[in-house]
Amino acid sequence: MIREATLSDAPTITSIYNHYVEHSYATMQCEKSDVAFFGEKIKQVQSSGHFWLVAEEESEIIGYAYSAAWNPREGYKQTCEVSVYLSPAIITKGWGTKLYTELFERLKKKGIKVIIAVIGLPNEASIALHEKFGMKKVAHFPKMGFKFNKWMDVGYWQVNYNLD
């Protein structure tokens, strides 16, 4: 089941995200977040008219995806950034595709025309997921992030819908 996130989901969302902070280049954040941070982030995303979705299996949250403004300037109001994070136990079971399918449909209905994703590289699984949704690599920033005592590349993927 995929549904809108609630504030009571913040502890599980925090746990999922912190796994990637500690073990992955999927985020360039180096310090774990706390539940209060994600509670505020969920509220901010939803109050701005964007979406925060969670995937549940047997009443357990196993992943989430959200959209957020890419830039606060008025000229970018039809552009957003998306992110998806899954419990490491279910990363190959199609839940990323299910979450993004729902999220992208909501974004299209909202009138979003440009969707951007930032991917720490290398990350073949994330690239494959984003390209499944028509996203193409539009930028590559070499040695842009530093984590685990190593410089990492970062890429931007983008898809456009019905541009006038």
Question: For residues 99 and 55, is the Cβ–Cβ distance under 8 A?
Answer: yes
Go through the domains of the chain in sequence order and give each one's CATH number: 2-160 (3.40.630.30)
What pLDDT, on the 0 to 100 scale, is given for residue 142?
97
Residues of the chain with pLDDT under 70: 164
Q: Does pTM top 0.85 for this prediction?
A: yes
* First-to-last C-alpha distance (Å) of the chain: 35
| Ramachandran angles phi, psi of 134, nearest 5° | 80, 5
Pairing status of strand 114-121 against strand 79-86: parallel
Sign of CA dihedral 91, 138, 147, 40: negative
pLDDT tens profile 112-138: 999 999 999 989 999 999 999 999 999
Question: For residues 62 and 89, is the Cβ–Cβ distance under 8 A?
Answer: yes
